[in-house]
Chain A
């Protein structure tokens, strides 16, 4: 699989939207924090294979439109994988009610758990051949911090949002949120567990609004 780079995807999406007809769009840029250093693995009493590969994840933000919106009857299943002793993606925004699967692509055990108030669970230890793929339904809005009981450096976040309108920025902080309903809302940009920026927006049908988060 060779996914499009986020900036290319945004451009493609904008072109497709233009080709299909005008719609309400918010776009802009979020000023992102500096990238953090890759974690250090604890290998004191075990031999961690894979050459100590550590994937670094540049910071991204989640931009979403806060408001009261009808919930769909069903939502697509999302995935958060474990590969090379790291979660991928490291940050996953989902709508309330979404089922998230946690496939293990490593050749060793993982044990994902969360003690977050928004979702408390422990999937136990499982390998890549585990079927069905262990999953959880995230039915309460909030931030869920994921850990692996075996590999203490592994961390990931699931941001459970009570809105269908959200998007992750690219690594430069650019975003494009389309197909939005007209009206007055609050546009929010989630940067980390302690920082959520917000600004009021008034969306007019078939128009594009520029909204940056400095």
Chain B
């Protein structure tokens, strides 16, 4: 009871302090907007500061890269939005942090997104976008920014590493199971942390072009990108291109009455990087080894309740192994208890198919896993919020069966 009271007092003090700072943020906001040519050209620089802390057990789960049990992860994100009339839109996002995914490493500065969007018709029936930007697949990318994500972490399927590497192809089923931590491991060394890939790597800011639009209750989007959805951030930029093996993705959406948004997505693209060429059979093309994905997404919003769900069935064509399937999904909800206090709950699960083993028989090529993410959030002002999250996950793994993650994230946006 004392702890709750102390937390309430602390929140009230913080809210009072931040309310004062909000006027300053408004002033900064005004100063970072410019217009010219009678308002026909308008640009705004905005951003957010995230201060995150994580506490977990080793080995660090998901995409966290740290040798310790805790991780401090500050991040500055800068956004540029510019409009030239009603038909030309440009945006960019740059980040300064310790790595794209939380890591115990040095500071770096990256240009994560930049794109030019042309909208020839006023009703938005067709948009052409070129640059480096988030994938059109699913509905997670619409809310992956820290301000819009009611929890701290991404859904499991966007960050759970599989036994598939993108820089080297496995030599056998046994190697695949070893990399996936299925069955006994010969040593404590675990290289998969920096080499494995998930079904979709975060928002998948690949480089390419997209066509999208809204026609009545339907929405469509199709993109051609230089990397597959599972590809790591280092491969997203135009400099790290795999244009010889482009990835094609698309989504068709249906909004029956505004409350619901339903979508069907598909994607296919080569997931092995050029560095993996020596590890595939001589004469084999990397383009023959693809990640093919089909997905469904749904979202619902009504008053103070929001629900989201995505399910993806992915197939990786693996040299010398064949097809390896995995299914990942989550169901997530957010409810506002008061104008400023909200809570979020997410159920995640990922399952793996079986592959034929060289020694005979078959075995799962990954460890089935489920994870529950839950936590409250509090918006002190329209520019500042604090989120807490506790996650518990259970995995049929040789590394650790059940573990917990505690995360806290403070965000100030301007």
Contact = CB atoms under 8 A, between A and B. Distances in A.
Interface string A108-121: 11000111010011
Interface residues of A, number: 35
Contacts of A124: 302-305, 336
Given A43-B89, A44-B79, A37 B306 contact: no
A42 interface: yes
B49 interface: no
Interface string A89-121: 000000000000000000111000111010011
A113 B303 CA distance: 12
A47 B91 contact: no
Nearest to B45: A40
B113 interface: yes
22 contacts: A40-B42, A42-B46, A42-B81, A43-B81, A43-B89, A47-B214, A49-B123, A50-B122, A50-B124, A51-B86, A52-B119, A52-B122, A53-B122, A108-B258, A109-B258, A115-B340, A115-B382, A121-B339, A124-B302, A124-B303, A127-B257, A147-B382
A117 B304 CA distance: 21
A49 B79 CA distance: 21
A38 B93 CA distance: 22
Interface stretch (B6-14, B31-39, B175-183, B368-376): B31-39
Interface in B20-50: 30, 33-35, 39, 42-44, 46
Given A47-B124, A121-B339, A40 B134 contact: no
Interface of B: 19, 30, 33-35, 39, 42-44, 46, 79, 81-83, 86-87, 89, 91, 93, 113, 117, 119, 121-124, 127, 133-134, 141-144, 212-214, 219, 257-259, 301-306, 336, 338-340, 379-382
A120 to B, nearest CB: 5
Nearest to A106: B258
Contacts, number: 110
Given A47-B127, A52-B86, A115-B382, A125 B34 contact: no
B265 to A, nearest CB: 15
Contact of B33 (A40, A45, A108): A40
Chain B, interface SS category? strand
Nearest to B88: A52
A75 interface: no
Contacts of A107: 258
A45 to B, nearest CB: 5
A41 B81 contact: yes
